[in-house]
């Protein structure tokens, strides 16, 4: 132990000895240098201590240090905001706007400016911009976040606090969100059902001049959802629209009228249910406040919308009730005295719905009879241009109703005579005529001539007997009062009344009625073909060998009625029909419109010729080729 301790002590002493002289020498040199500097330049600041030589070789930071520095900077750089982020920030700002007092403090102005910027950014995501189209994933993310919390409610209630441009942007955002789908579902509908009171805010917005157009546009988009529209229709607010439409501010009144029309025309079944339950008060308000309004624009819009409501198939029961009222007819007759031609036109073809009613009350009949000549004179004077296609369609509907009325009256005579002994005359060896033919033609011509005294008429019994069948551009009624007379005589139930109307030599309206089996075929050019009110179309057969052909050769026949054969094509019972040498245009005038509107085709009908070929379009080429 002593020797090791001795060695340890010796070593320590050696270390101390080797270190001490260096420290003393260095300390002495520093003191001398310091004294010298103080004597020669006492005002200079002391120099920093000398650094080690290796530190002066390169002052640039090491490469690894530079990389670490860049990484640190990246950690503090702001990331791009996602659509959900923007919605959340917008929500926070809307909460601030709702709670903050109306002051002009710089903080509030800064927040509101940021809010407006966010709303504009939301609009850009949903609609795209000049540089890019909207991205569906971003839109879905935005929509989901928007409806997850009460952002829509906040945006609607805070709208008055925004500037004009931000209001416009917000209106477009709300409108677009109603159409956005998340996982193939319109989630806006569910949100609005749970927050249906928002509709109260939007409707009452029409009372605020600054907000009316923005809230009105939002409301129209929200009622795209049927449940929302039903709420508005059934709410007390519905009655307020009759006042909003008459507001002195034209823009607001027009916007309210647009929303009112949307409510009454978009969701058919909902509207029909509403009108049925609320008929009395609704039409009392409609007549007194809109149709009899002192404002010309209101009257014009109201009479046009009335047609849209009454002519909709879903509202057939409502129409029947409306056209049975003497007071309603009186209002429309007064509108016929308007100086405005457009109101006259609209009122006229609405009044014709009263005439077309098959169960007209006696007081309605008396008014129509008393004013018949005036109505027909007014009708003849109307000059319709190409822009008023709706009016032309409504006129065709009136013509059709008149033809159906006449056909059903004639059908009663045919049905009665079908089961009785017939008095038969021979027009030729194979053509027969009965008292029923003549009675039906007289009835049809008398009814139609009373309604349309300026129109031309071609009938099988009278015109054919005189040998005159010239077809002109005038409105021309072509009538076969009893197509299938031979069947009628022999008790074969394929008989019908056929009534067609040509305008400019073009078949426009067609009615074929079989009273024995009570089948009514109707068609309007451009308006479709129907059997007892149900749409019909031709068959889909595409091979001649598998098709059912109808034709006639003298008295050897399949059905014995050219008009019914055409209707058979129209409803798909028959695939092909060909006949040569039939009686005249009265045999095909009614069926021609019906088969065409059902999608049938073939040779040109040429209703003044005596050749007809018809089929579904799939068989057309092969069929025509065979009969060239």
pLDDT-based confidence at residue 45 (cuts at 50, 70, 90): very low
Do both 581 and 619 map to the same domain?
A: yes
Distances 74 to 61, 70, 81, 85, 380 between C-alpha atoms, Å: 19, 6, 16, 20, 83
Examine residue 608 and state whether it is found in any structural domain, yes or no. Answer: yes
The answer to whether the CB of 201 falls within 8 A of the CB of 157 is yes
- Angle formed at CA 222 by CA 219 and CA 224, multiple of 5 degrees: 120
> pLDDT, tens digit, for every residue of 562-572?
788 888 888 87
CA separation for the pair 584, 563 (Å, rounded)? 11
Look-up of token digits 């033919």: 437
Nearest to 393 by CA among 525, 569, 534, 498: 525
Beta strands in 435-548 (DSSP E): 456-459, 476-483, 496-503, 506-514, 519-524, 528-531, 534-535
Examine residue 21 and state whether it is found in any structural domain, yes or no. Answer: no
CATH code at position 369: 1.25.10.10
What own/partner pairs with CB < 8 Å and gap ≥ 24 does 131-140 have?
138/83, 139/83, 139/180, 140/180, 140/181, 140/182, 140/183
Q: Which DSSP string corresponds to 108-176?
A: HHHHHHHHHHHHHHHHHHHH--SS-PPPHHHHHHHHHHHHHTTHHHHHHHHGGGS-HHHHHHHHHHHHH
Nearest to 446 by CA among 457, 461, 460, 435: 457
Do both 306 and 338 map to the same domain?
A: yes
Average pLDDT across the chain, whole number: 79
Question: Is the pTM here over 0.75, yes or no?
Answer: no
Say yes or no to pLDDT of 471 above 50. yes
CATH code at position 590: 3.30.540.10
Say yes or no to pLDDT of 602 above 70. no
Do both 443 and 512 map to the same domain?
A: yes
Q: Which SS3 state, helix, strand or coil, does residue 537 take?
A: coil
Give the tokens for residue 507.
């078949």
In the chain, % of residues over pLDDT 70: 71
Distances 494 to 124, 152, 321, 565, 566 between C-alpha atoms, Å: 67, 65, 35, 10, 13
Do both 320 and 429 map to the same domain?
A: no
Examine residue 252 and state whether it is found in any structural domain, yes or no. Answer: no
Say yes or no to pLDDT of 98 above 60. yes
CA separation for the pair 298, 295 (Å, rounded)? 5
- Greater model confidence, 489 or 219: 219
Examine residue 468 and state whether it is found in any structural domain, yes or no. Answer: yes
Look-up of token digits 């005249």: 584
> Is the Cα torsion angle 487, 493, 499, 500 positive or negative in sign?
negative
pLDDT-based confidence at residue 376 (cuts at 50, 70, 90): low
Give the per-residue pLDDT at 9. Answer: 46
The answer to whether the CB of 613 falls within 8 A of the CB of 534 is no
- Greater model confidence, 15 or 340: 340
In the chain, % of residues over pLDDT 90: 40
Do both 477 and 448 map to the same domain?
A: yes
Give the per-residue pLDDT at 103. Answer: 57
Examine residue 194 and state whether it is found in any structural domain, yes or no. Answer: no
Do both 280 and 371 map to the same domain?
A: yes
Do both 376 and 402 map to the same domain?
A: no
> Is the Cα torsion angle 370, 374, 376, 379 positive or negative in sign?
negative
Do both 404 and 374 map to the same domain?
A: no
- Angle formed at CA 18 by CA 13 and CA 24, multiple of 5 degrees: 110
For residues 233-247, average pLDDT:
94
Give the tokens for residue 230.
């039903």
Give the per-residue pLDDT at 381. Answer: 60
Please enumerate, by residue number, every residue annotated as part of a binding site.
460, 480, 482-483, 587
Give the per-residue pLDDT at 13. Answer: 46
CA separation for the pair 265, 72 (Å, rounded)? 63
Give the per-residue pLDDT at 394. Answer: 61
Do both 321 and 444 map to the same domain?
A: no
Examine residue 351 and state whether it is found in any structural domain, yes or no. Answer: yes
Examine residue 607 and state whether it is found in any structural domain, yes or no. Answer: yes
Burial of 362 (0-12, 13-18, 19+ CB in 10 A): exposed
User: Which DSSP state fits 185?
Assistant: -
Do both 288 and 407 map to the same domain?
A: no
Q: Look at the chain and report how many structural domains it folds into.
A: 2
Q: Which SS3 state, helix, strand or coil, does residue 217 take?
A: helix
- Greater model confidence, 452 or 181: 181
Do both 491 and 603 map to the same domain?
A: yes
Backbone angles phi, psi at 103, to 5 degrees: -125, 170
For residues 15-43, average pLDDT:
41
Of 330, 352, 383, which residue sits at a domain end? 383
Do both 379 and 446 map to the same domain?
A: no
- Angle formed at CA 318 by CA 315 and CA 322, multiple of 5 degrees: 135
Question: Which residue range is the domain that position 325 belongs to?
Answer: 267-383
Look-up of token digits 């139930």: 493
Examine residue 488 and state whether it is found in any structural domain, yes or no. Answer: yes
Please enumerate, by residue number, every residue annotated as part of a binding site for Mg(2+).
460, 480, 482-483, 587
Say yes or no to pLDDT of 229 above 50. yes
Nearest to 366 by CA among 354, 353, 349: 354
């Amino acid at each position: 132990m002593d020797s090791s301790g001795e060695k340890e002590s010796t070593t320590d002493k050696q270390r101390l000895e080797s270190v001490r002289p260096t420290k003393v020498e260095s300390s002495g040199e520093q003191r001398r240098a310091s004294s010298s500097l103080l004597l020669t330049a006492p005002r200079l600041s002391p120099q920093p201590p000398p650094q080690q030589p290796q530190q002066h070789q390169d002052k640039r930071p090491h490469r690894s240090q530079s990389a670490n520095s860049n990484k640190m900077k990246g950690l503090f750089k702001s990331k791009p905001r996602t659509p959900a982020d923007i919605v959340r920030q917008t929500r926070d700002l809307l909460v601030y706007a709702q709670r903050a007092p109306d002051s002009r403090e710089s903080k509030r102005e800064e927040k509101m400016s940021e809010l407006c910027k966010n709303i504009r950014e939301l609009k850009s995501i949903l609609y795209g911009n000049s540089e890019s189209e909207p991205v569906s994933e971003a839109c879905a993310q935005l929509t989901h976040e928007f409806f997850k919390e009460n952002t829509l409610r906040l945006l609607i209630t805070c709208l008055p606090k925004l500037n004009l441009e931000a209001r416009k942007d917000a209106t477009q955002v709300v409108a677009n969100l109603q159409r956005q789908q998340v996982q193939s579902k319109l989630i806006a509908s569910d949100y609005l059902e749970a927050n249906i009171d928002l509709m109260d805010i939007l409707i009452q917005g029409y009372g605020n001049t600054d907000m009316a157009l923005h809230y009105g546009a939002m409301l129209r988009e929200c009622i795209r959802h049927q449940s929302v529209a039903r709420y508005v229709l059934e709410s007390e607010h519905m009655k307020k629209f009759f006042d909003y439409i008459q507001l002195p501010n034209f823009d607001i009144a027009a916007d309210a009228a647009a929303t009112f029309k949307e409510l009454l025309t978009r969701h058919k079944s909902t509207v029909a249910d509403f009108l049925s339950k609320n008929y009395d008060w609704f039409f009392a308000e409609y007549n007194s406040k809109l149709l009899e309004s002192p404002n010309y624009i209101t009257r014009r819009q109201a009479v046009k919308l009335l047609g849209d409501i009454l002519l909709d198939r879903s509202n057939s029961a409502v129409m029947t009730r409306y056209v049975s009222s003497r007071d309603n007819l009186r209002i429309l007759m007064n509108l016929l005295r308007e100086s405005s031609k457009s109101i006259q036109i609209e009122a006229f073809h609405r009044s014709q719905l009263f005439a077309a009613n098959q169960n007209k009350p006696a007081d309605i009949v008396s008014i129509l009879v008393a004013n018949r000549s005036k109505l027909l004179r007014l009708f003849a004077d109307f000059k319709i241009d190409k822009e008023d296609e709706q009016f032309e369609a409504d006129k065709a509907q009136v013509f059709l109703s008149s033809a159906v009325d006449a056909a059903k009256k004639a059908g009663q005579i045919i049905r009665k005579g079908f089961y009785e002994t017939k008095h038969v005359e021979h027009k030729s060896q194979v053509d027969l005529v009965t008292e029923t033919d003549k009675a039906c033609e007289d009835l049809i011509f008398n009814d139609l001539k009373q309604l349309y005294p300026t129109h031309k008429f071609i009938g099988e019994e009278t015109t054919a007997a005189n040998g005159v069948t010239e077809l002109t551009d005038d409105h021309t009624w072509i009538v076969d009062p009893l197509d299938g007379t031979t069947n009628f005589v022999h008790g074969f139930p394929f008989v019908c009344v056929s009534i067609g109307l040509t305008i400019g030599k073009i078949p426009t309206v067609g009615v074929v009625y079989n009273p024995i089996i009570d089948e009514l075929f109707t068609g309007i050019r451009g308006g479709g073909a129907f059997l007892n009110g149900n749409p019909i179309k031709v068959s889909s057969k595409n091979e001649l060998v598998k098709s059912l052909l109808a034709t006639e050769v003298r008295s050897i026949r399949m059905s014995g009625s050219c008009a019914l054969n055409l209707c058979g094509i129209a409803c798909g019972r028959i695939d092909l029909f060909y006949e040569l040498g039939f009686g005249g245009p009265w045999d095909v005038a009614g069926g021609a419109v019906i088969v065409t509107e059902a999608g049938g085709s073939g040779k040109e009908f040429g209703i003044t010729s005596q050749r007809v070929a018809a089929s579904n379009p799939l068989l057309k080429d092969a069929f025509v080729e065979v009969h060239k």
